[in-house]
Homo-oligomer: A and B are copies of this chain.
Amino acid sequence: MSQPIEFFFDFSSPYSYIALQSFDALASKYQRAVDYRPMLLGAAFKVSGQAILVDIPLKGTYAKHDFARSARFHGVPFRLPSRFPINTVNTARALLWLQSTGSAKANPFMHRAIRAYFIEDRNINDLAVLGEIASELGIDAPALQAATQDPAIKDKLKTQVDEAIARGVFGAPYIFVDGEPFWGHDRLPQVERWLASGPF
């Protein structure tokens, strides 16, 4: 039995959002499970000394253009949020909590939250917004909101972020297939070849 694919992402990453729109289907096609692992890019950027992408001269201007064009290329709705990027620590903790309880609503929550940010321009780090999304999906909203402040969940996220950085994760999406690292939505064709026929 193969290991699940590990998909590290930040809820504030446009290329993670684009990749997430097709990743379940890609993994299913090759009968592989996926562990979706929220992280915080800000922490990785500190270690690697990178600036926030849209703040980099020249590159930042291009990036904003490329987010939208890449979304259109892949047929994905997209609007650059009015606050971008945002800290997504609460969103990440909420997902980790759902995952830690074994909830079948973890993946639906993940998809719903990142679409709320990149399609509806909602601040998904805000506890009220998280509560609304939880309620929509039939998740106990007060429990989810409380979990974002639970020391055990806070620690869990911190550990996960540290582990990701220790494994070399410096950007998102960052995908491990059988331990092989792939960075970026534009590496999905390489991920697919690996899934289809193994190492190349």
Contact = CB atoms under 8 A, between A and B. Distances in A.
Contacts of A59: 48, 50, 170-171
Given A62-B168, A186-B187, 14 more contacts: A50-B56, A56-B170, A58-B165, A58-B168, A58-B169, A58-B170, A59-B170, A61-B168, A62-B183, A66-B183, A66-B187, A73-B189, A73-B193, A186-B186
A73 B190 contact: yes
Interface of A: 44, 47-51, 56-59, 61-62, 65-66, 69-70, 72-73, 165, 168-171, 181, 183-184, 186-187, 189-190, 193, 200
Copies per complex of this chain: 2
* Closest 5 pairs between A and B when the two form their complex, measured CB to CB: A58-B170, A186-B186, A48-B58, A59-B170, A48-B57
A73 to B, nearest CB: 5
A51 B66 CA distance: 21
Given A186-B186, A193-B73, A200-B72, A57 B61 contact: no
Contacts of A48: 56-59
A199 to B, nearest CB: 9
B51 A51 contact: no
A171 B59 CA distance: 8
